[in-house]
Structure 1
């Protein structure tokens, strides 16, 4: 499934940040079959447009809840397309076909459980069923993979808050320096990781 190409890149050339590549992966049987339009992937892309000041481009896919396909797509986004961050949406609940966390763990070298813990804590402020979420996050090479909720409202409730630590994580993985718009999400970095100007001195 494709969305208009202008929505797949953003940021500004005068940012102190580096160009970055993101992956957005919607995992849904019905959306992948066209039974309904995917709104979750575009919600993530809209967040990038609002929050990321660095220049960026994104690869966006909508696939069914099939674990082998999820795993192969995550590998492709990390290894072939060079995404420093891959954000998934969907497939994190207790239903039999919800296998996104298992696929994520299978392709990751190391897990980052704190992201799942923080997202559930955020969601529990809004709905008691947040305890049913099995969202997780992990690292594959120099890529961070994060599982987000499946609904646009829940996506924005969580990513707007949890993203504050993501630029530092990516930087520590020797990935690009991400500059954010502070009014949307203020990236938290130790003082030694803060960049005052672009690498080329501009």
Structure 2
């Protein structure tokens, strides 16, 4: 599934759902819409929504393309410990720099709700001028993880844009 529109001025985001079953049409994507809803409340224009299988090369290629098109690339799913969970590895392979503290913040907030947050291997990083965030595949986990770092995202994007004044 793919839908792309012209990039409006301001904060733009792409939401990528990583799921074999959603990509095959066997399961409805609930985490992507949950992430998009949070982003829209944060005044992001979600200009791209994609669903891809748990395939490292497909994830890498898509993230590379999207990092040229939007300021924020959010992935949902594929961050656990199952054999097909490869989103973190695919993300690390295409990032210029990792933001360990952002991923740690998401996990630490998740631990307050469920001990299973400790099983998330999601990473956050930068490619060019785009911020990339891996979120869990559950709708609640995706939304809560984004909310946990909501105040950091605009400042990170400003820094990536060259606005280096400290807050």
TM-score, structure 1 normalization: 0.75
Unaligned residue ranges in structure 2 (runs of 5+): none
Pairs aligned (count):
164
Alpha-carbon separation, structure 1, partners of 2:162 and 2:75 = 19
Q: Name the structure 1 match of 2:22.
A: 31
Alpha-carbon separation, structure 1, partners of 2:88 and 2:133 = 9
Contact 1:142–1:170 under 8 Å retained in 2 = yes
Question: Are 2:47 and 1:58 equivalent residues in the alignment?
Answer: yes
Which whole-Å deviations, capped at 9, do the CAs of 1:29-72 have from their partners, x for residues lacking one? 000000011011111111122221x6x24211000000000000
Unaligned residue ranges in structure 1 (runs of 5+): 12-17, 177-188, 191-202
SS in 2 for 1:163: coil
Contact 2:64–2:94 under 8 Å retained in 1 = yes
Q: Name the structure 1 match of 2:86.
A: 99
Per the TM alignment, residue 2 of structure 1 is displaced from its structure 2 partner at its CA by 5.0
Distance 1:71 1:175, change over 3 A: farther
Q: Name the structure 1 match of 2:157.
A: 170
58-67 or 153-162, larger mean C-alpha shift: 153-162
Alpha-carbon separation, structure 2, partners of 1:149 and 1:49 = 18
Per the TM alignment, residue 154 of structure 1 is displaced from its structure 2 partner at its CA by 1.3
Pairing partner for 1:70 from 59, 62, 76: 59
Q: Name the structure 2 match of 1:42.
A: 33
Distance 1:50 1:150, change over 3 A: same
Per the TM alignment, residue 161 of structure 1 is displaced from its structure 2 partner at its CA by 2.2
Which whole-Å deviations, capped at 9, do the CAs of 1:113-154 have from their partners, x for residues lacking one? 111111110111111111111011011010110001111111
Contact 2:109–2:145 under 8 Å retained in 1 = yes
Larger radius of gyration: 1
**Structure 2 matches for 1:119-134, cutoff 5 A?**
119-134=106-121
Aligned-residue CA RMSD in angstroms?
2.2
Distance 1:175 1:49, change over 3 A: farther
Per the TM alignment, residue 160 of structure 1 is displaced from its structure 2 partner at its CA by 1.3
